[in-house]
Structure 1
C-alpha cells in the first residue's frame, strides 16, 4: 500500500464525529466489495507503464480497515456513455480510483444520466432537459449522502450536468453543516475534453455550393447567402441545425426534392463528431459550464482545457490536489461558491457565455443556501461593466478546440489568463478568493506577466485588449413582465444599435414548431403581411417611427423588412418551466439567425430559453411565464413592442395611441378580450403538458429569475452570499 504519494508521513483521516461505516455494520459489510472490484479493474485495464497501475491486490479486509478509520471516501462521478462527452470516462475513472487508493483513501464510483441537448433539440426531449438538471442534483445528493462520501472527483460533461452535480454537492454540505457532526464537502471538477469540429465532405460541400447557385439563379438570393454563410462554420450539430432549416426552405421552393434533402442531412450527420467524443467546440452551455467551474476555482489548472483523455500524471496531480484540501473547511464547495460568485458573473460576461447560465448560477447558489437571483447578477454587472475579451469564432479558427490547443501548447493559462487580463483592465476581480489549488487567484496570477502569447496575434481566442465594450447577458424589465434576458454578446454592434429604441410588430405562436414552419415557408412574407392586425396604417406608423419616413413607408413589404424599418417580434409563449419544461428555442433561433431578410430586422421572444450557441436578438426566460399568468400569454398578433436596450426595457404600446402619434404603455391585463384569450391558451397549455410524463412535469419550482429550482430549495436559500 502506498501511503505517502503526496509526501505525507501519515495517511489522512477525516476530522468528524460521524462515521456510519464504523457505527453501522451494514455499510461496512456491503460496500468494500465494490471498492475491491473497482481497483481490480484498474489493475487489469490500466497500461502496465502507468504509475497508477502499481496496485497490489486489494483485499476486503484492507478496505474495511480504512472505512472504520474514517479515511477519505472519494466519489468519482462520471457520466453516461450514451453522451458523446463521456466516451472516455472509463479509463479516466480507473486512473482516479487507483490514485485515491495510493493516497490512502477509499474510491467509489457512480455515473449519472446526461441528456445531450443537441439530441433533444426541437423535440419532446427538450421538455426533459432542464428537469434533468434538478433530477440529477437530487440523484447526486442522494448517492453522496446515502453512501456518506467525503469528497468528489467529477468528470464534468456538458449541458445541465455540471450545474446539477455542483448543486447536489452543495446541498449535501448545507445539510451536513446543519447536522453539525460531519465535515463539509470538498470537490474538484475535471471537465471533459473538447470535441474537435467536423469537416463537411468535399462532395457534400460541392453540392451545397451548387444549391446556393441554383437558389440565386431562381431569384432566392437570401437563401443562397444563408447557405454560403453556413458553409464557413466548422461542422457541429449547431451548424447542422442551420443547414436543416435551409434545406427545408430549399425543398419548399422546389429547388431540391425530399430524397436530396435527406441524403445531404445524412452526410452532414455522418461527418460531424470525432470518434473520441468530447464537449462540442462552440461556446454553448457545455463550454460555458467549463468556464464557470474554472472561474469558481473548482477546476485544477492542469485539468481545465483538454483535447483528449488526460494522462496519468495529470489525473494523479488532480487527485493529489483534492487530498490536499481535506480537513480544510475554507476550501469546501460552499465556501468556494460564496467567495467566487461575483468573479464568475464578471468572467461570464467577459467570455460571452451561454444565457443558460443565468438559470444555472441561481440554481447552484440557492442549493448552497444563498439567496441569489437574477437581480444579483444584474447588480454585479451594473456595478462593474466588463468588456468582452473572448474572440471566439466558429468561422475563423478560434473555437474552443483551438482554445484548448493553445492552452496545451502553453500559449495561455486558461482561467488564470482571464483573471489576469480583467485585472489588468481595471475590473475589480476578487483575487483573494480561494481555489482548489489551495491558493488564491492572486497567488495563481502573481507571476503571469504575459497572460497570452503575443505571437498568437489574431489567432488568440483570449485577448489582452477588449474585443468590444458590450458583453455578456443583459437583464431586461418591462410593462407586461418582470424580467427576461438577452445575450448581447450574441448580437453584432450594428444589431445592438439598430434595435435600441425600436418598435416591433408581434406575431404570436403557442409552440416553436409552427414558428419553424413559418420560417421555412415559401410564402413567408405573405404570411407575415397577412398577420392579424397588420394593416397599411400600422405598417406606415411603425416604419415612420423606426426612422423610415413617409416615403419609405410607401415601399413594398419585402423592401421594408430588408431596410430594417418594419420589424417583427416572433413571440413563442407557453414554453416556460411549469408549462412545458422550458425547452430551448434553438431551431427557431437558428432559422432566424440564418435568414438574411429576417435576421437584421426581427427578434424572438419566449418564456422558454435558448441554446448557448444562439446568436442574434433572442430574448428569453420571460417571467412570469404564460402558464403562471405572465403577460406574455396575453399578447396577440399585431401588438406593438418597444425595445430600448440601453434602458433595458421592453414595453407593450397602446395601438390606438401609437396610430395617433403617441407612445403610451398599455396594460394587457385590463382587457377582458385578452383575459378570455389567455384562459383559452391556458386550457391548451394544460392539455399540452400531458406530452410530458407526470414524474417530470416541473410544477413545484421557482421561476427562471430564481433558477427554476424545487420550491423547498428556493425557500431554504436564506443566506446572503455577500456576508
Structure 2
C-alpha cells in the first residue's frame, strides 16, 4: 500500500524536525528523559491513552497491558508514549460516571490535539470509557484504534454460576425476602467478581466494546476476549503494531465511522441483547462523527434483528466467557450478515465482510441461529406517547412478558432518597399492578442521569413473591439490570417534561407492541398542572457541574454537550499557537 504519510509529513515532525529554537527545546527535553534521536526521528509517535487507576477493577490489568501495547508499537517502528486519562470506575464514582463521560471525552480530545502524536491507542472498557474515548478520538481526528478491557471470569458461589450485576439484584431481593442468610450474602461478595475485567454479563461494558468492534474501531474479535486470557495480551501488542501502520496509511476514524458503520453497531446491539445505555452512547458517538443517527434507527433495527446471544440478563444461562468460546463477536456478525453493511471499513484496512470471512460458531445454544432466537425481536424497544414525546426505552427481552401490555396506577417519587425510604416500608400502599415512578433523575435532574431506573420492588411485595413490576423514570439503568423498566423518558422532568406532571394515582398505560407509553389524564388537567409547575433549583453554581447543566443535551440526543457537536468545528483541529 502506498503510504499516506512520509516521515517528513508526520504530525509529530512539527514538534521535533524544524531547525529552530522551539524545536530545540522539544528535542532537548525528550533527551532529558533518556531518549536519543534514533527513538523518535522519522518514526510515528503513538499516544497510548490509558484509563487505568488504583480504584478501577475493570482496568486493573491495564498497568501491564500498556507494556504489551508499547512492545507492539516498537516492533512496528513507532515510538510509544503513555498518557493517563481520567479513569471512570463505574462502581465508585458518584453520583454517576455518566456525569463525567463528556469530561473524559474532552480530556481525550485535548490530550491528542495538544501533544506531538501521530496516532492513538485507546485503552478502555468500563462502561462510559468506551464511548468517551471514541467520542474524543473522533473529534481529534487522528488515526485511532480501540483496545477493549475484556470481561472478567465467571462468578461462582456454592456451585452456582454468578453473573455480575444481574445476580446481585436477584439475590438482594432474596435477602430482603429472608430466603438467604447474611453469611450467604457475604460469601457471595467474594465469588461474584473473581478477576480483573469488566462485567461478564451483557452489561453496558460488553455492549459498548462489541459496538466499538461493530463500528470497525477494534481488531476483529477483540471485544470478546476475556481480560485474563493470554489472547488479550497478544491482542494488545497487535493494537500497537497496527496503529503504526494506520498512521502511515493515514487511516482515520472519519473513514471508518460512516452511517453504515453505526447501523452495523445498532444491529449488533439488538442481536447481543444489549444494554439500554447503548442508545445514548451510540447516538452521541455518531453525532461526533457527523452521522445522523437517532431513536428511529434503533426502532427500525429492533423490529427485524432478533436477540441471538444467550447471555444474561436477556439470556438465561451463559456469560461473556461462554460467548467467547462459542465464537465471539465474529461468529455473531456472521450470523446476522444479512443485516450488515459488509462494505464498511475497519481499522484493519479491510471491510467488515472481509474480517468475518470464515468466522465460525461452536455452540448454537450460546449464539443462537436465526430460526431459534432468544427473543424474536431486538433487545430494545423505543416508546413514545404523551409521557415521552421525545421517546423512552424498554428492554422487553429482559422483562416479564405479561408487562409488555399493562395499565396501572402511578406511585410517584420525586427523588431517590424518598423512593429508597418508602420502598422498605412494609406499610406502603402498593400493589403489583402499580407503576413505580421516579423523576428528577435525568441528565440535569440526577444530576448526570444515574442508573436508578431499576427501582427496587417494594419489600412488602418481595415477601409476597413479586419479582417484577412496571417502573418508569427519566433515569438510566445498568446494562446488567432487568425487569419491566421504562427508562430515558425525554424530555426529563427537571426541565418540565410531562413526567413532572404525573401524580400518585394517575393511570399509566403501556403497550410495547404499539410502542406507546401514555398518561391517562385529560389534556385540560395536564395543561392546568403544567401552568402551575415551577422548575427546581439547579444542582451546581460553579465548576464542571455548572457547565454540565447548561450544555447537556437530552437523552434522545445522546447527552453530549451542545458545544461539542460537529457544527462547532470539524475534526483534526490543531493548536492555534505553536
Q: TM-score range by the shorter chain?
A: 0.7 to 0.9
Q: Secondary structure at the match of 1:523?
A: coil
Could you tell me which residue of structure 2 aligns to residue 478 of structure 1?
A: 385
Are positions 1:277 and 2:134 aligned together? Answer: no
Could you tell me which residue of structure 2 aligns to residue 80 of structure 1?
A: 52
- Structure 2 counterpart of 1:234, from 157, 162, 169: 162
**In 1, Cα distance between equivalents of 2:238 and 2:545:** 45
Aligned residues of 1:486 and 1:620 also touching (Cα < 8 A): yes
Are positions 1:170 and 2:138 aligned together? Answer: yes
Give, in angstroms, the shift of residue 444 of structure 1. Answer: 2.4
Are positions 1:441 and 2:352 aligned together? Answer: yes
- Structure 2 counterpart of 1:268, from 158, 183, 188: 188
Could you tell me which residue of structure 2 aligns to residue 700 of structure 1?
A: 551
Are positions 1:104 and 2:77 aligned together? Answer: yes
Are positions 1:670 and 2:527 aligned together? Answer: yes
Q: Against the structure 1 CA distance between its residues 114 and 390, is the aligned structure 2 distance closer, same or farther, given a 3 Å change threshold?
A: same
**In 2, Cα distance between equivalents of 1:161 and 1:285:** 11
Are positions 1:576 and 2:442 aligned together? Answer: yes
Following superposition of structure 1 onto structure 2, how do residues 76-225 of structure 1 map, counting pairs within 5 Å? Answer: 76-81=48-53, 82-120=55-93, 125=94, 127-173=95-141, 185-200=142-157
Q: Secondary structure at the match of 1:622?
A: coil
Are positions 1:513 and 2:417 aligned together? Answer: yes
Q: Against the structure 1 CA distance between its residues 366 and 32, is the aligned structure 2 distance closer, same or farther, given a 3 Å change threshold?
A: farther
Could you tell me which residue of structure 1 aligns to residue 395 of structure 2?
A: 487
After superposition, the C-alpha distances for 1:214-241 in whole angstroms (9 at most, x for unaligned) are xxxxxxxxxxxxxxxxxx6615344334
Q: Secondary structure at the match of 1:300?
A: coil
**In 2, Cα distance between equivalents of 1:142 and 1:235:** 37
Q: Secondary structure at the match of 1:152?
A: strand
Could you tell me which residue of structure 1 aligns to residue 573 of structure 2?
A: none
**In 2, Cα distance between equivalents of 1:518 and 1:90:** 44
Give, in angstroms, the shift of residue 402 of structure 1. Answer: 1.9
**In 2, Cα distance between equivalents of 1:474 and 1:437:** 33
Q: CA RMSD in A?
A: 3.3
Following superposition of structure 1 onto structure 2, how do residues 246-645 of structure 1 map, counting pairs within 5 Å? Answer: 246-248=174-176, 250=178, 261=182, 265-274=185-194, 276-301=195-220, 303-307=222-226, 308=228, 310=230, 313-329=234-250, 331-338=251-258, 339-381=260-302, 385-393=304-312, 397-404=317-324, 406=325, 411-412=326-327, 414-423=328-337, 427-448=338-359, 451-453=360-362, 456-458=363-365, 460-463=366-369, 465=371, 466-482=373-389, 483-492=391-400, 494-495=401-402, 498-500=403-405, 502-524=406-428, 527-528=429-430, 561=432, 567-579=433-445, 580-585=447-452, 588=455, 598-600=466-468, 602-645=469-512
**In 2, Cα distance between equivalents of 1:717 and 1:468:** 41
**In 1, Cα distance between equivalents of 2:321 and 2:276:** 21
Kindly indicate which of the two structures has a greater share of residues assigned to helix.
1
**In 2, Cα distance between equivalents of 1:599 and 1:666:** 34
**In 2, Cα distance between equivalents of 1:595 and 1:422:** 42
Q: Against the structure 1 CA distance between its residues 93 and 623, is the aligned structure 2 distance closer, same or farther, given a 3 Å change threshold?
A: same
- Structure 1 counterpart of 2:562, from 702, 711, 716: 711
Give, in angstroms, the shift of residue 392 of structure 1. Answer: 1.0
**In 2, Cα distance between equivalents of 1:649 and 1:708:** 23
Larger radius of gyration: 1
Give, in angstroms, the shift of residue 98 of structure 1. Answer: 2.5
Give, in angstroms, the shift of residue 430 of structure 1. Answer: 0.8
Q: Secondary structure at the match of 2:418?
A: helix
Q: Against the structure 1 CA distance between its residues 77 and 33, is the aligned structure 2 distance closer, same or farther, given a 3 Å change threshold?
A: farther
Q: Against the structure 1 CA distance between its residues 696 and 490, is the aligned structure 2 distance closer, same or farther, given a 3 Å change threshold?
A: farther
Aligned residues of 2:135 and 2:284 also touching (Cα < 8 A): yes
Give, in angstroms, the shift of residue 690 of structure 1. Answer: 7.8
Q: Against the structure 1 CA distance between its residues 337 and 696, is the aligned structure 2 distance closer, same or farther, given a 3 Å change threshold?
A: same
Give, in angstroms, the shift of residue 300 of structure 1. Answer: 1.1
Give, in angstroms, the shift of residue 717 of structure 1. Answer: 7.6
Aligned pairs, number: 556
Q: Against the structure 1 CA distance between its residues 235 and 16, is the aligned structure 2 distance closer, same or farther, given a 3 Å change threshold?
A: closer
After superposition, the C-alpha distances for 1:388-432 in whole angstroms (9 at most, x for unaligned) are 11111369541112223x1xxxx42x2222221112xxx331111
If the length of structure 2 is used for normalisation, what is the TM-score?
0.87
Give, in angstroms, the shift of residue 714 of structure 1. Answer: 3.5
Q: Secondary structure at the match of 2:276?
A: coil
Aligned residues of 1:644 and 1:650 also touching (Cα < 8 A): yes
Could you tell me which residue of structure 2 aligns to residue 60 of structure 1?
A: 36
Give, in angstroms, the shift of residue 589 of structure 1. Answer: 5.0
**In 2, Cα distance between equivalents of 1:363 and 1:74:** 26
Could you tell me which residue of structure 2 aligns to residue 652 of structure 1?
A: 519
